[in-house]
Structure 1
Amino acid sequence: MAAVAAGAGVGLQLIGAAAATLLAAVLVAVVLGRRRRLVARAPLVEGKPAPEDGCAVGDGEGAAGDGGTDVIIVGAGVAGSALAYTLGKDGRRVHVIERDLTEPDRIVGELLQPGGYLKLIELGLEDCVEEIDAQRVLGYALFKDGRNTKLAYPLEKFHSDVAGRSFHNGRFIQRMRQKAASLPNVQLEQGTVTSLLEETGTVKGVQYKTKSGEELKAFAPLTIVDVPSCFVGLVLENCQLPHPNHGHVILANPSPILFYPISSTEVRCLVDVPGQKVPSIASGEMANYLKTVVAPQIPPEIYDSFIAAIDKGSIRTMPNRSMPAAPHPTPGALLMGDAFNMRHPLTGGGMTVALSDIVVLRNLLKPLRNLHDASSLSKYLESFYTLRKPVASTINTLAGALYKVFSASPDQARNEMRQACFDYLSLGGVFSNGPIALLSGLNPRPLSLVAHFFAVAIYGVGRLMLPLPSPKRMWIGARLISGACGIILPIIKAEGVRQMFFPATVPAYYRAAPAAEYCVIALVGELSKPTPDATSGKMERLFTWIAWKSSREC
């Protein structure tokens, strides 16, 4: 029996190695082709002078006192604050309207992947993770049925400071707000946006209520809307994780549990509770669920801290949603952040996608001296939706696929896929480095993601066929492959096959900057409930409804 088991192990390794080699060859060909396309495209964005100053919108009441605003940003969260600083640093006059400028207290937006940290560096915001007791994150540890494996980020080729970061979301946001407000051309104001102002199909600005209750209007031609996503969680105090400086994922029943440090003395625990209706916190149902269903599956090293956190009553819930990026190109409007695109928080990729989007938008706007012709600018910015795809679609697809694979199921084929994924990652080398590079945002290549996903499925089938195949095992293997397709293909379809794998074939990919001069608004944040006297424009109703509905559900 030992000889048979050893032979099975060797055969399994050979199958994995052969699959990885074949997939690697395909990836190399794709990467080389993409690089050639990028070189050919470079002159469209690079080499153009940055704007020396902005321009007044010139059509009404400017929010800024200096005669006009180039960009209005609604919401000063992660995306809004970073966008305000980035555009302000490029010379744009920015007016930020935030519902509440006090430090936020949220249970999401606390884990920044290394790829997101690299985007912070690119935006000049890396010092925002300093002086907030942020913790370095060097990888993940996976736990399943008493076994565990450690997956390190492939950081060998980067500066020693490059790693993931985990922190209190509110502290991070306040640091970015301070950084943005330090620029003389960036104005932060507390107020609640109630509607977007539309004129002949173009969003011209916003109507908002100030902290004192005064109703005002602000004008600028590009609007960017952002709304936060949701989850469920609690904080463990004075708790030492089994693997320091690592996120911990427990493949529990019925769904995964995530632990990561948010300060030197606190650990965040996120428990995914499936279903639309979660147990009530007020009645004690949630505490009972956590103690009876979740706690027995927690590693013994942190069990006592987990129970103590439940007894303390610091349980909070936020709805979790996924939403593919559906472009809404409209003159004067641009969706960004979670109003535009959401994914499951399991992989902690939300901030990485948001910061990557800001880099793309910054690069598109930089060649423009000002931003006044909303129609031409909107057509030019259609390329934003394509250029963001490599990073965004990789992280979105991985988040959705991993959540489904890591969740328990009564289906034997799904459970085989779950076990195969754990064992595949435990092999180490290319089998763990590839997936963790995707998760970290360091390798945003959709084809690499698909290759590894189906390599896991093939690995699972190979395990089933050893030492000897049987009709039952073959049937389970066939259902495993079918189930894998059922998981990833709908996600890819929602993201857009052409935009995801062949972005260079999309006409907007090559769209050059308009020759005329223009002017911008950016809305990044929450809108309040729509009012009866609000402008009746189609895009205004869409944005207001999205923001109001999401903020109410949270």
Structure 2
Amino acid sequence: SRVLLIKGDRRKAQPARVEREHRAGRERECVGLIRVRILVLWCSCLRELAWLRIWNMVDQYALGLILASVLGFVVLYNLMAKKNRIRVSSEARTEGVQTVITTTNGECRSIEGDVDVIIVGAGVAGSALAHTLGKDGRKVHVIERDLSEPDRIVGELLQPGGYLKLVELGLQDSVEDIDAQRVFGYALFKDGKNTRLSYPLEKFHSDVSGRSFHNGRFIQRMREKAASLPNIRLEQGTVTSLLEENGTIKGVQYKTKDGKELAAHAPLTIVCDGCFSNLRRSLCNPQVDVPSSFVGLVLENCELPYANHGHVVLADPSPILFYPISSTEVRCLVDVPGQKVPSISNGEMAKYLKTMVAPQVPPEIYDSFVAAVDRGNIRTMPNRSMPAAPQPTPGALLMGDAFNMRHPLTGGGMTVALSDIVVLRDLLRPLRDLNDAPTLCKYLESFYTLRKPVASTINTLAGALYKVFCASPDRARNEMRQACFDYLSLGGVFSTGPVSLLSGLNPRPLSLVLHFFAVAVYGVGRLLVPFPSPSRMWIGARLISGASAIIFPIIKAEGVRQMFFPATVPAYYRAPPVNCQARSLKPDALKGL
């Protein structure tokens, strides 16, 4: 192993200091004795010389030889004493330096010192990030409000691109032993017609595919993996505020499970407390939009028309989703536009699902859907959308849904979060000292640009698809909806291209824009063939205008420059700060300090 010295605390244990004081005392006694002996020797020599001179038995050469020998002894003694003082001074200087051992596999393990990173929240992003940083040798303190298994109706579908990121982080076994189901694509239903859209997985390992599962089981598996590392502390508590000092975040104030108010400090605090984050306001400019809500049901012992596929029904007024979450259960998510949903308690929701939704689901699952409504386990969840608008703050960072959200129609949230973790891990790996908060903050500005290819592609696609898939009284919007269904039904590049974008396998924003306007042009072509009447031409113009009105605001919110021209952003080329990197020293080199 190599030994690295990084900036540390100046405090040291008392026993070492006492031992040095005793050693210095002994050395002073030795110095005194040597000086006495030199004096005695010198006097003796003078006496002998005087006696020899009296008897004229010595010449000047003998006298010079004796004097040179004595002076040489004195010089040798002074050199040895000076070397000893340098060694003692070196020990004193390194008294407060924290030692970190880098093992042969590149991990950085602190021998002593406090926490390196505090992570607020242990959901998908928090637990995956904790395990990732812990594997790199950092001491991590994770504070989670509730460590029991979550029970949610979203975060249950992981796209193939997200699974690849899971593999890259070494967390692929988190989807094992939880009855997760493999997903190979989507089936799209509209007005009695359907088409199958398969993921382009031919170039990947046979294990690569989407995964669907119970969100709580997946999170618990990742928490277990994180907690298994000795340098990760997983604690149940509620973070109430961030600790700020002179504009720098120094840690968090939190309340333990027992109700005690405590403070935790670390050079870097990463907030991953989810879509309902109460800490994000001090770290970003949140502009949260709630376009709709999901109504969740679980269909039991139901066989979907296409096994191991997600099912999207282009219903009126908005889409309905079906996908397996275990070998015996199918999740149904009914999108209800707006922020108000029918009441569950007074039976309005059950009535709405039976009368408005049930007639539009595929016949193969109609009975299972009605039975699930009758069982009454109906839950709702607001669908939130929030573009990333960071305010870089020294000592803190936002991740996951606390930082960036998109409509969950495409199931891309976990893929974006895992991709962000890979980017952050690669940025932090060269650094061994996180204590220079302003310099670290400046360096991590590159994170916001490097994450854009994956994040902006999935975010834009989710927002655009949701608006296209929703029914509308406007004929131009309905033509766009029908054109999208027909375009995807063409097969070949017309289906694999959009699906590769949705799956996270091909995160290219420009490709997304080209396919989106190809759908619009295809819709205009359908209108103008075979007879381009003035009314049809007008609808076609409105279709192009409507398509532009859908996608351009989303692109603007994502950032045109970072999305399409990231290489022109100065932060894209930002190198790791030299003062935050550890110097590699050989063990023998430490003796010369």
Whether TM exceeds 0.5 here: the answer is yes
Contact 1:438–1:449 (CA<8 Å) still a contact in 2?
Answer: yes
Q: What is the CA deviation profile of residues 16-56 of structure 1, one whole-angstrom value per residue up to 9, with x for unaligned ones? A: xxxxxxxxxxxxxxxxxxxxxxxxxxxxxxxxx99979876
Residue 105 of structure 1 corresponds to 151
* C-alpha contact (below 8 Å) 1:112/1:164 kept by paired residues: yes
Q: Work out which of the residue numbers 251, 256, 266 in structure 2 matches 1:205.
A: 251
- Are 1:156 and 2:219 counterparts? no
Task: Report the alpha carbon displacement of residue 57 of structure 1 after superposing the two structures with TM.
Answer: 7.9
Within a 5 Å distance, the mapping from 1:62-73 to structure 2 comes to 67-73=113-119
Match of residue 188, structure 2, among 142, 166, 176: 142
SS in 2 for 1:328: coil
Deviation of the 1:515 alpha carbon: 1.1
Distance in 1 separating the partners of 2:482 and 2:548: 17
Indicate the residue corresponding to 2:57 in structure 1: none
Note closer, same or farther for the CA distance 1:476–1:50 as it changes in structure 2 (3 Å cut): farther
* 53 and 490 in structure 1: CA distance in 2 versus 1, 3 angstrom threshold: farther
Residue pairs, 1:436-451, within 5 angstroms: 436-451=499-514
Report the equivalent of 1:128. Answer: 174
Give the Å deviation of 1:138. Answer: 0.1
Q: Could you list the per-position Cα deviations for residues 443-468 of structure 1 after superposition, in whole angstroms to 9, with x for gaps in the alignment?
A: 00000000000000000000001111
Instruction: Name the one with the larger strand percent.
Output: 2
Which residue in 2 is equivalent to 1:517?
Answer: 580
Task: Check whether the contact 2:122–2:272 (CA below 8 A) recurs between aligned residues.
Answer: no
Distance in 2 separating the partners of 1:132 and 1:413: 45
Whole-angstrom CA distance in 1 between matches of 2:459 and 2:191: 27
8 Å Cα contact 2:186-2:311 kept in structure 1:
yes
Deviation at 1:227, TM superposition (A): 3.8
Of stretches 497-506 and 327-336 in structure 1, the one that deviates more from structure 2 is: 327-336
- The partner residue of 1:284 within 325, 343, 347 is 347
Give 3-state SS (helix, strand or coil) of 2:331's partner. Answer: strand
Partner of residue 223, structure 1: 269
> Does the alignment pair 1:363 with 2:459?
no
Whole-Å Cα distance in 2 between the matches of residues 406 and 308 of structure 1?
27
The answer (yes or no) to whether the contact 2:487–2:522 under 8 Å persists in 1 is: yes
Alignment match, 2:227: 181
Question: Which AA in structure 2 matches 1:330?
Answer: T
Deviation of 1:327 (Å): 1.7
Q: What is the rounded CA distance, in whole Å, between the counterparts of 1:216 and 1:380 in structure 2? A: 30
Distance (Å, rounded) in 1 between the aligned partners of 2:319 and 2:295: 12
Which of 473, 477, 480 is the aligned partner of 1:414?
Answer: 477
For 1:113-124, list aligned pairs within 5 A.
113-124=159-170
Kindly state the Cα deviation for residue 484 of structure 1 after the two structures are TM-superposed.
0.2
* CA distance in 2 between partners of 1:82 and 1:51 (Å): 28
AA aligned opposite 1:161: D
Kindly indicate whether the alpha-carbon contact (under 8 Å) linking 2:134 and 2:229 is maintained by their aligned counterparts in 1: yes
Helix, strand or coil for the counterpart of 2:336? Answer: coil
Q: Structure 1 residues 363, 65: CA separation in 2 closer, same or farther (over 3 Å shift)? A: closer
| 1:402 paired to 2:465 | yes
Name the aligned partner's letter for residue 105 of structure 1.
Answer: D
> Secondary structure in 1 aligned to 2:337?
coil
Matched residues in 2 for 1:446 and 1:169: separation?
Answer: 29
Q: Is the 8 A contact 2:199 2:500 kept in 1?
A: yes
TM-score, length-normalised on structure 1? 0.82
Of the three residues 532, 538, 543, the one matched with 1:469 is 532
Specify whether residues 292 and 88 from structure 1 end up closer, same or farther in structure 2 by C-alpha distance, changes over 3 A only.
Answer: same
Distance in structure 2 (CA, Å) of the matches to 1:386 and 1:418:
32
- Any conservation in 2 of the 1:405–1:417 contact (CA below 8 Å)? yes
Instruction: Give the corresponding residue for 1:507.
Output: 570
| SS of residue in 2 equivalent to 1:329 | coil
Secondary structure of the residue that 1:268 maps to in structure 2? strand
Q: Compared with structure 1, are the counterparts of its residues 66 and 168 closer, same or farther at alpha carbon in structure 2 (3 Å cutoff)?
A: farther
Distance 2:306 2:231 in 1: 45
Q: 1:460 to 1:87 in 2, by over 3 A?
A: same
Aligned residue identity for 2:342: P
Distance 1:437 1:279 in 2: 36
CA distance in 2, matches of 1:514, 1:283: 60
Is this contact kept in 1: 2:119–2:272, CA < 8 A? Answer: no
Which one-letter code corresponds to 1:118 in the other structure? L
The CA distance in 2 between the partners of 1:426 and 1:247, in whole Å, is: 16
Q: Summarize the Cα distance change of 1:328–1:53 in structure 2 as closer, same or farther, 3 Å threshold.
A: farther
Of stretches 235-244 and 509-518 in structure 1, the one that deviates more from structure 2 is: 509-518
C-alpha deviation, 1:416, in angstroms = 0.3
Counterpart of 2:486 (choices 423, 426, 436) is 423
Q: Give deviations 1:495-537, integer Å, cap 9, x for gaps.
A: 0000000000011101111111289xxxxxxxxxxxxxxxxxx
Q: TM-score, normalised by structure 2?
A: 0.77
Change (3 A) 1:228 1:236: farther
Pick from 455, 470, 485: which aligns with 2:548? 485
* Corresponding residue pairs, total: 467
| Counterpart among 332, 336, 360 of residue 269 in structure 1 | 332
CA shift, 1:369, in A, is: 1.5
> Is 1:92 aligned to residue 138 of structure 2?
yes
Match among 495, 502, 507 for residue 432 of structure 1: 495
Unmatched runs of 5 consecutive residues or more in structure 2? 12-109, 276-292, 583-593
Task: Supply the AA of the counterpart residue of 2:469.
Answer: F
Corresponding residue number in structure 2 for 1:196: 242
What is the match of residue 26 of structure 1?
A: none
Distance 2:336 2:274 in 1: 19
AA of the residue aligned to 1:155: L
Matched with 1:342 is 405
Distance 2:352 2:9 in 1: 55
SS state of the match for residue 157, structure 1?
Answer: coil
1:272-329 Cα deviation digits (max 9, x unpaired): 1011111111111111111111111000100011111111111101111100111210
Structure 2 counterpart of 1:170, one-letter code = G
The one-letter amino acid paired with 1:444 is P
CA distance in 2: counterparts of 1:164 and 1:436, whole angstroms: 12
Distance 1:94 1:458, change over 3 A: same
The 1-side partners of 2:380 and 2:273 are apart by: 17
Residue 231 of structure 1: how far off its partner (Å): 3.6
Partners of 2:193 and 2:372 in 1: how far apart?
25
Distance (Å, rounded) in 1 between the aligned partners of 2:482 and 2:531 = 19
Task: In structure 2, give the amino acid aligned to 1:326.
Answer: A
Summarize the Cα distance change of 1:57–1:501 in structure 2 as closer, same or farther, 3 Å threshold.
Answer: farther
Would the aligned equivalents of 1:56 and 1:68 in 2 still touch at CA under 8 Å? no
Q: Is the contact made by 1:54 and 1:91 (CA closer than 8 Å) also made in structure 2?
A: no
Against the structure 1 CA distance between its residues 369 and 203, is the aligned structure 2 distance closer, same or farther, given a 3 Å change threshold?
same
- Does the 8 A contact of 2:117 with 2:270 survive in 1? no
Structure 2 counterpart of 1:133, which letter? D
Q: Which moved more, 1:277-286 or 1:127-136?
A: 277-286
Question: For the Cα contact (< 8 Å) 2:317–2:470, is it kept in 1?
Answer: yes
Q: Name 1:352's counterpart in structure 2.
A: 415
Q: Distance in 1 between matches of 2:501 and 2:262?
A: 45
- C-alpha deviation, 1:399, in angstroms: 0.1
